[in-house]
Amino acid sequence: MIEFKKVTKDYVSNIGKEVKPALKDISFSVKEGEFVTLCGRSGAGKTTILKMIACEEKPNSGNVFFFGQDTSKIKKGQAFAIRQQVGFIFQDFKLLSYKTVFENVFYALEVTNQENKKTQDDVMRVLDLVGLSKKFNRFPRELSGGEQQRVCIARALIHRPKVILADEPTGNLDPYHSRDIMKMLMKINEGGATIILSTHDKEIVNSIKKRVITVEDGKIIRDEENGMFFI
């Protein structure tokens, strides 16, 4: 389903033109329905992996395959087609501040031309799933961090994506909300969705007991089913 083949990525800083390697010759694959956790310290390269799946970044060498399609060969203007098959959950939520909760979730359907009366009902069902159906007409600034993250999850789910990418979804949340979010993600995975979670939270990694890929200095140093967080 998703495959990285000898992928290398360097970032060049604007000042001094310093080259910083982000990923060094990494290879791995993710099957449909898997729950994979990418863990490692900050700056290890976890987010870069997620960005490459979503076509936000291209590898300097190697290939990234998304359901058989080589994303490194996709032109910038065509990246939307891949992104419409991906649900993204961000650490900082990234909600559209001038749209209500309902409109933020519905936006994911509008961009995929799936909006109609039936899908409007689907939005309310998903909001109910994440416990926010009563706050559908609120704006993001009127919600707590945990609630905003739940809206983000709802938006990531609504268009039934092939894979959900969660980049440090609990990074800005307290332990109570973090636990709720993780429960939700587990439940979504049980429903058949493929989830790739990026985190450096030891408690979360150890509680999930799913496949863990450990990234350090741009390299995969460990890849285990039922993995644990290792320092």
Partner 1 sequence: MFKFIKKVLKGGWSNFRRQGFLSFATSLIIFIVVSLATSLYFFEQGVSFVSDKIRDKMDVSVYFKENVTRESILEIREKVIKMPEVKSAEYVSAEEAYERFEKNHQDDDYLKSLWAIQVNPFSASLLIKTNQTEDYKAVSQYFKTEEMAPYVREVNDYKRGMVIEKFSNMANTIEKVGFFLTIFLSLVALVIAYNTVRLSIYSQRMEIKVMHLVGAKNNFIKWPFLIQGALCGFFASLVCLILFYVLFYFLKDSLVSITEGFDIYAIYMNNLSLVIMIQFGTGIGLGLISSYFAVRKYLKG
The smaller minimum CB distance to partner 1, of residues 152 and 188, is found at 152
Burial label for 196, CB within 10 Å (0-12, 13-18, 19+), is buried
Report if residue 160 touches partner 1, rule: CB under 8 A. Answer: no
Among the listed residues 4, 35, 102, 107, the single contact to partner 1 using CB under 8 A = 107
Shortest distance, position 218 Cβ to partner 1, whole Å = 23
Identity of residue 82:
I
Shortest distance, position 80 Cβ to partner 1, whole Å: 5
Rounded least distance, CB 212 to partner 1, Å: 25
Q: Identify the H or E element spanning 183.
A: helix 175-190
Q: Which of 20, 70, 80, 137 binds partner 1 (CB under 8 A)?
A: 80
Instruction: Indicate the helix (H) or strand (E) that contains 207.
Output: helix 202-208
Return d(Cα 54, Cα 48) in angstroms, integer: 10
> Please, which residue, 56 or 203, has the CB nearer to partner 1?
56
56 is a site residue for partner 1 (CB under 8 A)? yes
Q: List C-alpha distances in Å: 211 to 2, 29, 35, 91, 181.
A: 15, 12, 7, 21, 18
Task: Give me the least distance between CB of 46 and partner 1, in Å please.
Answer: 17
The answer to whether residue 112 forms part of the interface with partner 1 (CB under 8 A) is yes
Which range in 59-67, 96-104, 172-180, 214-222 contacts partner 1 by CB under 8 A?
Answer: 96-104
Tokens encoding 169: 């979804």
